[in-house]
């Protein structure tokens, strides 16, 4: 049997404000990344919990955790415990919904976060998979597979030949190592979402260079939740 190295988090779990790594820390991380994906002033938010989160979100503080993430508060920040009061102070309207009849394909700990502002809207679906770890599974209807462990670029583009190669060349020319790249489309020749994970922080100059490509419609930079 292959040996597996054991880290400190395997023994004690993540540094976080409790009570639950999956229902509190994980939810805060999903919301934190959802806010980063929406690069506009936030005018309102709706958080829908499914499965186990729907049944236990009040007792485990998932509601506070989700709003904390939207306010940019990380799971180890003591302000998480009174995030609802902070949202009221900042004038952020929000709605928390429990849906007990969600799709069977959803993970038991699923949260859907809808954000809007300046005439723009965003919808992110994420799952808290245990121990504070997460997966962002869809962004605005496009498949995604992000865990927040690396810096990432979300690139909305036309589905056409060469886009992935050009983006990869731009990053390589600036000495960025690409950890993973995938492009998900709804239909051939229509819009697609490229998800690129890289080692290192991508400066705005590189994101702007990609944004100027004829096939590219939007570029959103998402920082790692571990930095």
- Please state the length of the chain: 227
CATH superfamily entry for domain 8-140:
D-3-phosphoglycerate dehydrogenase; domain 3 (3.30.1330.90)
Question: Please, which pLDDT band fits residue 76 given cuts at 50, 70 and 90?
Answer: confident
Query: What is the per-residue pLDDT across 138-188, written as a single tens digit (0 to 9) for each?
Result: 999 998 889 999 999 999 999 999 999 999 999 999 999 999 999 888 777
- In three-state form (DSSP H/G/I as H, E/B as E, the rest C), the secondary structure along the chain is CCCCCCCHHHHHCCCCCCCCHHHHHHHHHHHHHHHHHCCCCCCEEEEEEEHHHHHHHHHHCHHHHHHHHHCCCCCCCHHHHHHHHHHHHHCCCEEEEEECCCCCCCCCEEEEEEEEECCEEEEEEEEEEECCEEEEEEECCEEEEECCCCEEEEEEEECCCCHHHHHHHHHHHCCCEEEEEEEEECCCCCEEEEEEEEECCCCHHHHHHHHCCCCEEEEEEECCCCC
CATH superfamily entry for domain 151-222:
ACT domain (3.30.70.260)
Query: What is the per-residue pLDDT across 106-119, written as a single tens digit (0 to 9) for each?
Result: 998 999 999 999 99
Give the list of residues 6+ apart from residue 159 with CB closer than 8 angstroms, or none: 183, 185, 187, 188, 189, 190, 191, 192
Can 8-140 and 151-222 be said to share one CATH topology? Answer: no
Residue 79 scores a pLDDT above 50: yes
pTM comes to 0.85
User: How high is the pLDDT of residue 7?
Assistant: 46
User: How high is the pLDDT of residue 4?
Assistant: 42
Would you kindly state where each structural domain of the chain is located, as residue ranges? 8-140, 151-222
């Amino acid at each position: 049997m292959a040996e597996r190295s054991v880290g400190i988090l395997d023994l004690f779990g993540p540094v976080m404000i409790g009570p639950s790594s999956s229902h509190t820390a994980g939810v805060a991380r999903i919301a934190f990344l959802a806010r980063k994906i929406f690069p506009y002033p936030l005018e309102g938010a709706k958080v829908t919990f499914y499965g186990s989160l729907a049944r236990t979100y009040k007792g485990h503080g998932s509601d506070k955790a989700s709003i904390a993430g939207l306010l940019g508060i990380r799971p180890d920040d003591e302000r998480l415990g009174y995030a609802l009061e902070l949202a009221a102070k900042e004038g952020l309207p929000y709605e928390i919904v429990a849906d007990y009849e969600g799709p069977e394909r959803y993970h038991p700990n699923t949260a859907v976060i809808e954000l809007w502002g300046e005439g723009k809207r965003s919808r992110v679906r994420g799952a808290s998979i245990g121990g504070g770890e997460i997966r962002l599974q869809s962004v605005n209807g496009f498949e995604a597979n992000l865990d927040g462990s690396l810096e990432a670029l979300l690139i909305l583009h036309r589905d056409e030949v060469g886009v992935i190669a050009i983006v990869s060349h731009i990053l390589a020319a600036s000495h960025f190592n690409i950890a993973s790249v995938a492009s998900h489309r709804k239909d051939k020749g229509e819009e697609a979402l490229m998800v690129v994970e890289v080692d290192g922080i991508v400066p705005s100059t590189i994101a702007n260079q990609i944004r100027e490509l004829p096939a590219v419609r939007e570029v959103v930079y998402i920082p790692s939740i571990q930095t």
